[in-house]
Amino acid sequence: MTHAPSHGRAVPAAAYTASAPGRFASSELTRGPWDPAHQHAGPPIALVCREIEAAAASHGLGHMARLTANLLRPVPIGELTVEVKADYVGRNAGHFSAQLSAGGKEIARFTALAQRESPLELPDTLPGHPLPMAPRAPEDSPPAHFPFAGKNVGYADFVETRLAQGAMWQGPCAVWFRMRHPLVAGEAPSLYARVAVAADSGNGISAVLDYERFLFVNSDLTVNLLRKPVGEWICLEARTALGSDGGGLAESALYDARGFIGRATQSLAVRKR
């Protein structure tokens, strides 16, 4: 696990520390760009993903095919509680739901589809295959930096980013993400948690508006994955489209080092600050 340069600041060892089953203390590494008291949505979504993965694994379901987060309120940097429920589990797939709470309030609701993994031999020639690769490999991509990096310890310290195509915060672009610190202290993050930490950044890296003058916050995130990701690096090839009534949509094609793995979408509320 690599670590971020601290610029003279004390940086926590992990995004969260487990205090009891389903309860977690948040660190400053989760801080987002919109309000210094609120988390970037990537880390808490990944935290809930971790809990859903554990519930699904108990039923022999190893692939997280879809994760949807409905973000009801800003996530405070504090104590969080995660509760997971199996809504229906069949032979090959299971539907799960989860709640994220803080300070006695429900902060976010989640649904997920987990599938049983089964080896499948595919024909050598399929339309649209082999699946596309990211524009550039992470080792061939230069470092990239969030415009809010360095102001406070936060998400920009939590992840390492490299530019595969375009320019961050200037429209369509592709960026590799790698976690610099554990999600939960004392354990390696899961492959799906690595995707979740990055996927919520699509609206940021492909922003077409100045974040100091406008808010373009997402109230949801849906990630669909066709297979289990591999490796530490996840690439988002993202673009933002804005409507004339304060709405918007950010879409990201997701890649690992082996190629295309799925898509992420975010519904945006666009306002002047």
**Is the CB of residue 75 less than 8 Å from the CB of residue 44?**
yes
CB burial string 2-38: b at 16+ within 10 A, e below: eebeeeeeebbebbbbeeeeeebebbbbbbbbbeeeb
Give a yes or no: residue 4 inside a domain. Answer: no
The owner of tokens 């696990």 is 1
The residues, any chain, with a CB within 8 Å of residue 106's CB and separated by 6 or more, are 72, 73, 99, 100
Segment 150-189, tens digit of pLDDT: 778 999 999 999 999 999 999 999 999 999 999 999 999 9
Segment 41-89, tens digit of pLDDT: 999 999 999 999 999 999 999 999 999 999 999 999 999 999 999 999 9
Say what the pLDDT of residue 43 is.
98
CATH number reported for the structural domain that contains residue 246 in this entry: 2.40.160.210
Give a yes or no: residue 223 inside a domain. Answer: yes
The number of folded domains in the chain is 1
HSE (side-chain half, CA atoms, 13 Å) at 175:
30
Give a yes or no: residue 71 inside a domain. Answer: yes
Give a yes or no: residue 82 inside a domain. Answer: yes
Give a yes or no: residue 243 inside a domain. Answer: yes
194: domain range? Answer: 16-116+134-272
Say what the pLDDT of residue 215 is.
86
Segment 229-253, tens digit of pLDDT: 999 999 999 999 999 999 999 999 9
Which conformational region is residue 29 in: left (phi greater than 0), alpha (psi within -120 to 50 degrees), or beta? alpha
List the one residue out of 76, 120, 119, 121 whose CA is nearest residue 100.
Answer: 76
CA pair distance 118, 113, nearest whole angstrom: 16
Give a yes or no: residue 248 inside a domain. Answer: yes
Q: What are phi and psi of 214, to 5 degrees?
A: -130, 150
Count Cβ atoms below 10 Å from residue 212 Cβ, excluding itself.
Answer: 9
Give a yes or no: residue 263 inside a domain. Answer: yes
Judge whether residue 212 has pLDDT over 80. Answer: yes
3-state secondary structure at position 43: helix
Give a yes or no: residue 126 inside a domain. Answer: no
